[in-house]
Each structure stands twice: as structure tokens, then as C-alpha cells.
Amino acid sequence: MQEKYLNAIVNAGGLPIALPHALAEPELLNAVVDKLDGIYLPGSPSNVQPHLYGENGDEPDADPGRDLLSMALINAALERRIPIFAICRGLQELFVATGGTLYRRLFEQP
């Protein structure tokens, strides 16, 4: 996570906390999400796994643990109407969690 975004959260009166992948377990996730006022989904050098948006093939730069947590976290936040601030990969996760798709090789698109 970039420090400038964490500082912005603090300057706005928030307290940023990192959530471990283990929180993808429904009981744990629900207990934590109910205490959150907002969700920040940062960018990352990793990519969302293609099978999550209906594509085939492997993704060498995938982070399955993050995918599992982010999909569950986004759905829980949307159900509770908790605001989500997503940047780069975080925005891709938000698209995928809500039924969207991604171009795997965007630079090849016209």
C-alpha cells in the first residue's frame, strides 16, 4: 500500500488496518466487516485470476489469497452499503466481484 493513500485516510480521520487473507472465512469476515466504515482496495503488481471473470488460462502474477479475500470483502461491503475506494487492481477486483470482465492483454486491444 502506498503511504500517500494511508496518510490520506488518517488525515480524513480514519484508521487504516490491513486484513490478512485468513479473513476470507465467512464468520471471521462478517465479524470484521461490521466494524468498518469504509474499504480501501489498493493497487498491486499481481493480477486477478482469469477464472474469476470467465476466462481460461493461468495467470503467472496471480495472488489467489488476495482474490479470495477481496471478492468476499467486496460482496460483504456492498451488502452493507459500506463505501469502497478502489485503485488500479482494487478497481479490477470491484469490476470482477460485480460481474464484470477484464481484458487480460489490454495492450493488444485496439
- Determine the angle formed by the axes of helices 89-97 and 64-80, rounding to 10 degrees: 60
First to last CA, the chain: 31
For residue 11, what are the contacts with CB-CB under 8 A and spacing of at least 6?
A: none
Query: What is the reported pTM?
Result: 0.88
pLDDT confidence bin for 16, thresholds 50/70/90? very high
Residue 54 has pLDDT above 90, yes or no: yes
Q: Is 94 helix (H, G, I), strand (E, B) or coil?
A: helix
Domains of the chain: 19-108 (3.40.50.880)
Burial of residue 37 (number of CB atoms within 10 Å: 0-12, 13-18, 19+): exposed
pLDDT top residue among 85 and 103: 85
